[in-house]
Amino acid sequence: MSFFKKLKESIATKTETVTSKFKEGLEKTRKGFVEKVTDLITRRKKIDEEFYEELEEILIGADVGVTTVMNLIDDLREEVRKRRIEEAADLQPILSEKLIGLLRGDEENDIRLNQGGLTVILFVGVNGVGKTTTIGKLAHRYKQQGKKVLMAAGDTFRAGAIEQLEVWGERVGVDVIKHQAGSDPAAVMFDAVQAAKQRSADILLCDTAGRLQNKTNLMEELNKIFRVIQREVPDAPHEVLMVLDATTGQNALSQAKLFGEKSGVTGLVLTKLDGTAKGGIVIAIRQELNLPVKFVGLGEKMDDLQQFDSEQFVHALFAGLIQDQEKEQQAEA
């Protein structure tokens, strides 16, 4: 069975709605990456040193990451030697398979929910990455699933952050626990956990500061929040999700490395993936950080925050190639 047939069958059980969201959301990356690879293979025909160099440039340009690209090119060279491949077209399915392998991991992409009790999810990340919007969209997602949700406005330092979360609360019909601007974030979290317990909430989504206006260290502030939450719910927070802006590419990876090492991050949310041609950053992050990508933002709409799925990601990128392969097979038949 050909690679493309396997790929097509592997996503046959996925819902058409979500698949179309991935396909539409990754259109810029598809044009900036997959179409360039296809053009390279069409132009070059033969696999030589210039072919590898150009492929390397395309992969790095898509923000796949220099280290990951070097390893990938070495793997491709080995496959070419082993299988005695000469035509560039024969390398295309192998490249696709390798990319799927890079995206897959042992980590579970599902959010760890506290079955039968309160689930506390903490959101961290620098200002401007879409943290508050992500919380609002996730609140909508869980409410649609019939869960009772509360949000905590723990970013008390950024101007307008509390009001922004309140607007989302009104949009999705979820209450926001808040204090005045400039208040102690840990005190907000204490009240939020108490409110969640009293109201028998299923999920508490907690916003945190991306930076502080005083001299207090941000990590110290986060540790204080951790301690307050854990006193009230011993096994919480159940997830610490770092929100990254995909359009910033390698900067997002740098943020994740600096922030993630010190703040107990358990998973990543990549926002604005629909707004960049450098969707390869998903592969770079997956390879260079031992963290799963749990959600991706694929548009502006309320339901455009989607749980990450490596098969759907690859299908969305290579959908055109699958169709081309089918046409070629039909023509040969």
Establish whether 127 is an annotated binding residue: yes
Is 131 part of any known ligand binding site? yes
Query: Is 68 annotated in some ligand binding site?
Result: no
According to the annotation, is 19 in a ligand binding site?
Answer: no
Q: Is 141 annotated as a binding residue?
A: no
125 is in an annotated binding site: yes
130 assigned ligand-binding residue? yes
63 marked as part of a ligand binding site: no
Concatenated DSSP letters of 289-332: SS--EEEEE-SSSTT-EEE--HHHHHHHHHHHHHHHHHHHHHHH
Flag whether 207 is marked binding.
yes
Q: What's the rounded Cα separation, in Å, for the pair 276 and 61?
A: 12
- Helix (H), strand (E), coil (C) string for 4-45: HHHHHHHCCCCCHHHHHHHHHHCHHHHHHHHHHHHHHHHHHC
Report how far residue 177's alpha carbon sits from residue 190's, in angstroms, rounded to the nearest whole number.
10
210 annotated ligand-binding residue: yes
Is residue 129 marked as binding?
A: yes
Q: Is 271 annotated as a binding residue?
A: yes
Alpha carbons 214 and 218: distance in angstroms, whole number: 10
**C-alpha to C-alpha distance for 242 and 131, rounded to whole angstroms:** 8
Q: Does the annotation place 274 within a ligand binding site?
A: yes
Question: Which string of DSSP letters, residue by residue, matches 106-166?
Answer: SS--S----TTS-EEEEEE--TTSSHHHHHHHHHHHHHHTT--EEEE----SSTTHHHHHH
Answer for the pair 168, 134: CB distance below 8 angstroms, yes or no: no
User: For residue 79, what are the CA distances in angstroms to 20, 72, 93, 156?
Assistant: 33, 11, 12, 54
Annotated binding-site residue? 251: no
Was 324 annotated as part of a binding site?
no
Binding residues: 125-132, 207-211, 271-274
Binding residues for GTP: 125-132, 207-211, 271-274
